Amino acid sequence: IARAHLERIEAVEPSVHAFLHVDGARALEAAAAVDAKRGRGEALGPLAGVPLALKDVLTMTGAPTTCGSRILQGWHPPYNATVTQRLLDADLVILGKTNLDEFAMGSSTENSAYGPTHNPWDLDRIPGGSGGGSAAALAAFEAPLSIGTDTGGSIRQPASVTGTVGVKPTYGGTSRYGLVALASSLDQPGPCARTVLDAALLHQVIAGHDPRDSTSIDAPVPDVVSAARSGDVAGMRIGVVKELSGEGYAPGVEQRFHESVQLLSSLGAEIVEVSCPHFVYALPAYYLILPSEASSNLAKFDAMRFGLRVGDDGRLDAEQVMGATRQAGFGPEVKRRIIIGTYALSSGYYDAYYGQAQKVRTLISRDFEAAFAQTDVLISPSTPTTAFRLGEKVDDPLAMYMNDLCTIPSNLAGNASASFPVGLAPQDGLPVGLQVMAPPLADDRLYRVGAALE
């Protein structure tokens, strides 16, 4: 199986470019080790020997971690992320590291310093972002499983536009140890797959308490696998979020959304309309909170400790080397967000921007609490449109940010959320995703609904 996927990678990578790093020898060795264990009659987990692609923002020893940035070029992390370690312990076969927008900032993978990933459905279109590589690898059959990370939609939006399954677990449900931080209060690693059950099996492997992550939740992992096998939604109360199901969506997206609502209703779910009045402020609040946290997290890339160092020829002092390295090492979107973030956090503006955004965040959490008091899950389209063309939005950051309209509220509140494929849009034949949102630690409900739709 590993060999077949490596052959597939070799065949399609020149046109898809889902990977930044592939290590075939290592993958075949890992696969052989599984065969040997099986031969000795040793116990193996349900995903032993299954190949997987890892987003290049999670550390793994023996391979570079770049985060899609020049500034980390040449950095080999000295330790494994907890997610990586759990995959290795469960005998999955890691094929390589996948492409992403630089430091996971973006919705199209066009912000990668190493060139964009192409959507396997139409190579002229974006695969979503930031985890476009992890989603494209699945859609192009280069890997049956992958890992993404979701700060504002980077698992769900790529899943939506590539017709795959992507799950953002409850914040604290999967460990962030060894995940290079974008915005620490929002980031969450999660499973990506082509089927709901595959995603659940992977979720089971990576989730659970980690004492190395201070925000990790010490509670049992919800039974996502049973939920994915069941798909029974009879009697479930499913809320349609008024603010996320109005106008402005591409026609095919709206059509498939309404059909999904009908399907769930015909399967016995009770459909309720709910209002979350503060969701309209989620996007502006996110684009203050995220740059604020990112500007602080990225301060450690100072040319001294990691990767790239520019101008170290004895003529510049340490501060100038730092400046020259950050100037050369960070791309335009990263610089934009560092500037916005440091501004929003600066004395005199802190209350007006960062403080205000945090208050909005609380209101959004309260909207969710009120909505979940009447429902078991909430649904909306995952993204406003199907995959757009490469280059279409690169010069318009605001248009790019609009992609995250539906996905951001769940990150701000920290609840569980997923995107499931619900068919193709008639106007362009491209995949459409349905977003399902569940209360914290009720991740199993996502899989129940996903399995019903499959």
Active-site annotation, residues: 55, 130, 154
Residue type for 344, please? Answer: A
Choose, by CB under 6 A, the member of 116, 127, 153, 329 that binds ligand GLN: 153
Q: Does 106 bind ligand GLN (CB under 6 A)?
A: yes
Q: Does 105 bind ligand GLN (CB under 6 A)?
A: yes
User: Angle at the Cα of 93 (from 449 to 38), degrees rounded to 5?
Assistant: 100
Give the whole-angstrom CA distance, residue 1 versus residue 125.
29
Smallest gap from residue 152 Cβ to ligand GLN (A): 4
Q: Does 432 bind ligand GLN (CB under 6 A)?
A: no
Q: Which is nearer to ligand GLN, 9 or 360 (CB)?
A: 360
Residue 17 near residue 99 (C-beta atoms within 8 A):
yes
Q: Which is nearer to ligand GLN, 108 or 260 (CB)?
A: 108
User: For 293, phi and psi rounded to 5 degrees?
Assistant: -65, -40
Query: Given the rule CB under 6 A, which of 35-43, 77-85, 152-160, 413-421 is the region that contacts ligand GLN?
Result: 152-160
Query: Given the rule CB under 6 A, which of 68-76, 102-110, 115-123, 270-278 is the region that contacts ligand GLN?
Result: 102-110
Q: Which is nearer to ligand GLN, 104 or 138 (CB)?
A: 104
Q: Does 151 bind ligand GLN (CB under 6 A)?
A: yes
Choose, by CB under 6 A, the member of 66, 84, 107, 380 that binds ligand GLN: 107
Smallest gap from residue 104 Cβ to ligand GLN (A): 3
Choose, by CB under 6 A, the member of 95, 182, 250, 434 that binds ligand GLN: 182
- Sequence-distant (6+) residues with CB within 8 A of 260 are 379, 422, 434, 453
Residue type for 14, please? Answer: P
The residue assigned the tokens 């994915």 is 228
**Residue count, binding to ligand GLN (CB under 6 A):** 13
Choose, by CB under 6 A, the member of 56, 150, 198, 376 that binds ligand GLN: 150
Residue number with the smallest Cβ distance to ligand GLN: 154
Choose, by CB under 6 A, the member of 290, 390, 405, 453 that binds ligand GLN: 290
Residue type for 39, please? Answer: G
Interface characters, 240-279, with ligand GLN (x: CB under 6 A): ----------------------------------------
Q: Which residues bind ligand GLN (CB under 6 A)?
A: 104-107, 130, 150-154, 182, 290, 404
